[in-house]
Structure 1
Amino acid sequence: MDRALKMVYYDEANVEKDIFAQLSLAQKHFQGDGMPRDESATRRILDQIHRQSRAFAAVCYGYMRSKGLGVSEDLGEGQQWYREAAYWFHEEASSGEPISANNLGYLYAKGLGVQENAETAAHWFEEAIEYGSVAALYNLGVCYLNGWGVAQDDEKAIEYFERASDLNDPSAASVLAYLYLEGRGVNRDPAKSFEFNMRAARAGSIEAASALGYALGVGLGAERNIAESISWFELAASEGDAYAQANLAMYFCHSPELKLFNRGWTMLMNACDQGDASAKYQMTQILIFGVPHREPDYASALDLAMDLAELGHPGGYHLIGVMYEHGLGVPVDMARSASWYERAARKGSSNGQAALGRLYAIGSGVEQDNILAYYWLRMSSPTEGSQAQREMGAIHARMTERERQIAEKFVADNPGPRRGSFGLKPLEQDVFKAAKRRS
């Protein structure tokens, strides 16, 4: 789980801001990347950072030079500005300034203006905690979660995240939401995950807002509510979040209203232009199954799905399996379909797991096996009333008592793959029904 460390400042309302997230947003505004081009918004963000202190101004100049934001790109000069930032942060941290100690740790973690050193970074996060930095509690938790500069320890990581979350740190609450969703270091609890995401989103976490959009869209940890899902996705999308844009686009692209479709398609293109894999996955679904204002395009869909597969994206594997199962632009080939589903399943795709379980249940493309069918359907974490849950129940009913015992032991001994680094997948169509309609 490659969670981001954070360098912070506090705005006029004493609200924590992640400086590099803000600088990235400024660049998106400047380039019109995933949102309308707005140089005035870029200037507002940069001016707010400049006003903080000499150290923050130097970070700002370092980013601008390194990224070519409004100036010519010069990595060497960017590093010079980061070195100046490190000097001032060190001066202030040595005097007990908590934000500066945390931010100095960040520079050592990333090798900006100083020699990259994870142990030194963790040391400064510890110093910052002693001085009273909440952000450093989160950062040190990330270090323990990943074993960066300290021995990997989920228990200690959770302790630091809980301390930070109790002090209203949105990033810590967001990570706790992920851990409860995955059952890492804690018992899996989607409802508790939802609660932590709500806490984080209300405290300003854009990532958590996206997570709420997903959870409400599929009924994960809370009752399914499409209107609320759209609302949270819109909030995150307005901040340039490509994941939210991709999923929001799926809602709009399925609308019978041409205006909403056009809005969704534009949003999806913007997210794809940012290189967002979720957006490419969503676009692949549309090209396979079609929507009211766009017919299927199997050749383009297969190209996109193969691109995703080359990146190791489980959704790409799954959609290729769908195409081979139902003969969408390719010959029907159940053995090949099962092979792609298995790759998706082993990478954590719930749709891939459910599809593979279904093939084992009927013995199509693979040898019929009730135990493996039950296992993969169970791994897909089917929601109440879903097709996967009904199929799992049907398989369980026809199994012998001995098969049930073996299946439950197999599930216990093989907990299966975790999801991606954010614990979230793009919202998915009911692809089995969609494929049946096209077959």
Structure 2
Amino acid sequence: MVKFIQKNRVQGYACLFVLALGLLQTPYNVQAAQEIATTQQMAEQGSTEAQFELGTDYIQGNGVAKDMPQAALWLRKAAEQGHSNAQTLLGSLYANGEGVEKDTQQAVTWFRKATEQGSAFAQLSLGQMYESGEGVEKDMQQAFNLYRKAAEQGLSDAQLNLGYMYANGEGVTKDMKQAVAWYRKAAEQGVAQAQFLLGGSYESGEGIPQNSQQAVVWYRKAAEQGYAPAQFSLGTYYEFGAGVTKDMKQAATWYRKAAEQGDKGGQYALGYSYANGEGVAQDMQQALVWYRKAAEQGSAGAQFALGEAYESGKVLALDSQQAVYWYRKAAEQGHANAQYRLGLSYTTGEGIEKDSQQALTWFRRAAEQGHAKAQFLLGLSYTTGDGVTQDAQQAIAWYRKAAMQGDVSAQYALGAIYYYGKGVAKDMKEAFTWYRKAAEQGDVSAQHNIGVMYAQGVGVIKDVKQAVIWYRKAAEMGHANAQFNLGVMYLLGEGVKQDNSNAYVWLSVGVANGSPDPQALRDSVAKKLSQPQLASAQKLAGQYFEKYQSRSRRQPLVEPT
């Protein structure tokens, strides 16, 4: 649930109070001046209503020049005669230091007098003083009680605050059903913040059954009143098609409305829209404009995006130091990707001095948030002892976390650990399981290794046809050992029809790509071919060599014989 932060609440509610009384500012004119003269005469004769009206005229500049000290003077006269509205307004003037020296204790005194007469606005204002601890000892229970009194009189802002206190368990036991009930009362009176919070309740399903369509209804009401957080939320619903038909143009429209009001979420989302051409024409310059605005307001996502832009040098000039600067800002806010990138920067020394301890610190922070690549690198640090004491069990634990998320490097690492028995008992079935997972994601070394395991029946039932399938996958990705082994399978006729020409082709490609296996086997196969067959095989081997170039490989397993 988004917590609504209220600013200058007492002052804001004092203004609402004046408007609620219908005391709207009117232009100065002769008729108004005559009316003021009559009002002043009555006020000087002791009429509390006239004193109150004259005070509000001075506040609004109605028929007289705006004069806050004069307003305070006449409101005090009415207040001292027990006029509750005058007491409330006078308290507001003291709370804000308008027309009088700021004095929160005096504000409390006058709010309390009006509260005792049942003034809802005074109850709200005194509740705010207890909540903030201004002019009185902070007391959330007293604040809650006062808000309830005002809310039960139908004051929408008190209803909003009461809902907020129920939602956060402040001054009362947390109760989301009650929070929603009071949000709804305020929302139905048109309070934008309450409409937004009611939409958030429907989104989260807290205190009311989750309902995306109802969330959209209330977000829209608040958004159409110009409430920026609601505009941003409505944009996200259009982006993801929740509760409404997915519409990226509408998403970008609402993001822009929020962004132009300074909402950092809207600014980041609009930047992302420009970066990816979603709902607007792709424009990286505009993306960076909005990312920067959001980043400077503390948006971790935008800070990370700026770091990426400086690191890649594709739109902004390449600047590793600036990349590190923005990655750090995002990382310190808990952005896992930024923590990972900052760890990499400390590892490589790009934009900052190398520091394996710092790298490990940031990898760990990202890893603890579930970042798979950071988990793998943390596991690798425990394997190598880089920046930390070697610990096979810790390495396995972190590799497993990453592997379970589908990180291919971690899956391969676990396969190797179980195959070679590094820190655990050898377990060929477990090794095969993890190698296969990595192989199915396209890891060429894992593809080769499960080919070996199928060929030898290690960790899996022997299946030479499957061995050929996986050797071929790895061979066509440029794995030299897999190319050589595929040649062996053709030579022996295991899993494929025996074929000396194809055997020669793949043995030749494997040797040319750096397989450590003996060239003598290739040469012995060449002797079995006629001159035309050998010429044809050598030509095809040359084509395959160009097509299936050698790629880096991980530690090989024992090859089939």
Tell me whether the two structures share a fold, i.e. TM-score over 0.5: yes
Q: Distance in 2 between matches of 1:223 and 1:296?
A: 38
Amino acid at match of 1:224: Q
1:340 has 2:330 as partner:
yes
1:227 to 205, 208, 213: 213
SS in structure 1 of the partner of residue 74 of structure 2:
helix
Please list, as runs of the form range in 1=range in 2, the aligned pairs for 1:105-254 lying within 5 A after superposition: 105-251=91-237
Please list, as runs of the form range in 1=range in 2, the aligned pairs for 1:6-405 lying within 5 A after superposition: 6-7=13-14, 17=20, 53-61=53-61, 80-251=66-237, 265=252, 268-291=255-278, 293-311=279-297, 313=298, 316-321=299-304, 330-331=311-312, 340-344=330-334, 360-362=369-371, 364-365=373-374
How big is the shift at 1:344?
A: 5.0
How big is the shift at 1:165?
A: 2.1
In structure 1, runs of 5+ residues without a counterpart are 24-51, 66-76, 347-355, 370-390, 396-439
List per-residue Cα deviations over 1:373-432 (Å, max 9, x = no partner). Answer: xxxxxxxxxxxxxxxxxx9xx99xxxxxxxxxxxxxxxxxxxxxxxxxxxxxxxxxxxxx
SS in structure 2 of the partner of residue 159 of structure 1:
helix
Contact 1:128 1:136 in 2 (8 A): yes
Tell me: higher relative CO, structure 1 or 2? Use CA pairs within 8 A at least 6 residues apart: 1
| Aligned CA distance change for structure 1 residues 193 and 83 (closer, same or farther; 3 Å) | same
Q: Distance in 1 between matches of 2:138 and 2:111?
A: 16
Q: Distance in 1 between matches of 2:309 and 2:169?
A: 37
Number of residues paired by the alignment? 310
Q: Distance in 2 between matches of 1:99 and 1:296?
A: 56
Amino acid at match of 1:360: Q
Relative to the length of structure 1, the TM-score reads: 0.57
Contact 2:249 2:280 in 1 (8 A): no
Q: Distance in 2 between matches of 1:147 and 1:19?
A: 31
Contact 2:94 2:102 in 1 (8 A): yes
Percent identity reads: 22
Contact 2:150 2:158 in 1 (8 A): yes
Aligned to 1:26: none
Amino acid at match of 1:226: S
How big is the shift at 1:149?
A: 1.0
SS in structure 2 of the partner of residue 361 of structure 1:
coil
Contact 2:69 2:99 in 1 (8 A): yes
Contact 1:253 1:264 in 2 (8 A): yes
| Aligned CA distance change for structure 1 residues 228 and 141 (closer, same or farther; 3 Å) | same
List per-residue Cα deviations over 1:348-386 (Å, max 9, x = no partner). Answer: xxxxxxxx77753345447869xxxxxxxxxxxxxxxxx
Aligned to 2:479: none
How big is the shift at 1:142?
A: 0.9
How big is the shift at 1:197?
A: 0.7
How big is the shift at 1:198?
A: 0.8
How big is the shift at 1:125?
A: 0.8
RMSD across aligned positions (CA): 4.5
List per-residue Cα deviations over 1:243-299 (Å, max 9, x = no partner). Answer: 3334334545778x99x86666555544444434454344234335542x3255455
Amino acid at match of 2:301: H
Moved more, 116-125 or 168-177: 168-177
How big is the shift at 1:112?
A: 1.7
How big is the shift at 1:101?
A: 1.1
Relative to the length of structure 2, the TM-score reads: 0.46
Contact 1:335 1:365 in 2 (8 A): no
Contact 1:8 1:135 in 2 (8 A): no
How big is the shift at 1:109?
A: 1.1
Q: Distance in 2 between matches of 1:234 and 1:19?
A: 29
Tell me which structure has the larger Cα radius of gyration: 2
Amino acid at match of 1:85: A
Q: Distance in 1 between matches of 2:203 and 2:123?
A: 32
